[in-house]
Structure 1
Amino acid sequence: MGKEFPEIETKRLMLRQVTVEDAKDMFTYLSDEDVVKTMGLDPCQTIEDACDEIKWYKSIYQENTGIRWGITPKDSGKVIGSCGFLNMHSKHHRAEVGYGLGKDYWGKGIASEALAAVVAYGYQQLQLERIEALIEPANLSSQKLVEKHGFTREGLLRHYEYTRGKFDDLYIYSIIRHEHFSKAGEKDEI
């Protein structure tokens, strides 16, 4: 990845690097139990907790193990969620995609717009071959979201993560480079 943090522009959104100035906006959605329960996080209790999340975003970018963009509507510039890659393995050309969005913005196509842009960035700029999504079985809206974008459910990872005091099963979804370009109607340029 380059030195300067990349920004991604979509029709309604600007995906950008988050900073400590965004901590208050991020606290708003990261303190909401309904938002974080499927992210493997405890709700933020303080602004400092949101700052810790910002530090984590910065660290994965610096370590080349991930990149996480703040989702900001162009009309407000306020961070309302995030989307990006983690567990990137450049040797194997694969990464896991993750996202979260404030409850006030659910059902408006924002997560879909951000996910489409991030997946395209992964194939076009990061030269990924495979993008994975790990989703709790109860999170039907997230399953529908990735399926809409061409991801295939490969199976169930039993007791895959230990979060919030319990073991969680996770569905593993993936989309392969040629599937993305076939679905998008674009030409694959490997």
Structure 2
Amino acid sequence: MRDKNNFPVIETDRLILRQVTKDDAESMLAYLSDQDVMKYYGLEPFKSIDDALDELAWYQSIFEENKGIRWGITIKEQGRVIGSCGFLNFVSEHRRSEIGFELSKEYWGYGIASEALGAIITYGFEQWNLQRIQALIEPPNSSSKKLVESKGFIQEGLLRNYEFTCGKFDDLLMYSLLKQDYEKDTDKK
């Protein structure tokens, strides 16, 4: 898949997607403690810097274990982490991975999540040679559904009581984007 000692940096028109470090823990805590940001995240809002450091350690572990990658989303001129996006549950033999993302509420509605997601989808298909990228989204999360649909993802079905998070079972919608669908859309542009 990749060299685990060399974390890739992705640059877009407005953003730099980069590895998150301990210096970013305060920024992470700022948005991961927001109830609105965490509503569909599957975790309770963070309460301490230790929560943010644990999340950061998880980012590092999935990268080192070749199970995924999580980029910090930064605005070029600022450098401060305002969200994250990436792949998890990478299955190399099937060339499949899940995609995930979250963004500080103050940046909602500016196309930042769309720009970041577009960049990592391209990365997944072109650098990792993925065949399938999937997204699991809670049915009431209309913003995330709209975002992945705008990127060409197709809703495949409902996974009933798929996860137990925050003291309850959650249904999740399964969305997918296949490499041939991505390439067909890329050819149109």
Structure 2 length-normalised TM: 0.97
- Tell me by how many angstroms 1:145 deviates: 0.3
Equivalent residue number for residue 161 of structure 1: 163
- Of 22, 31, 40 in structure 2, the residue corresponding to residue 20 of structure 1 is 22
Q: Is 1:41 the counterpart of 2:43 in the alignment?
A: yes
Helix, strand or coil at the partner of 1:80: strand
Helix, strand or coil at the partner of 2:81: coil
- Tell me by how many angstroms 1:39 deviates: 1.0
Structure 1 spans left out of the alignment, 5+ residues: none
Map residues 34-183 of structure 1 onto 2, 5 A cutoff: 34-183=36-185
- Tell me by how many angstroms 1:81 deviates: 0.1
AA at the equivalent of 1:140: S
% identical aligned pairs: 58
Which whole-Å CA distance do the structure 2 matches of 1:105 and 1:146 have between them? 18
- Tell me by how many angstroms 1:186 deviates: 7.1
Structure 1 length-normalised TM: 0.97
Give the number of aligned pairs: 187
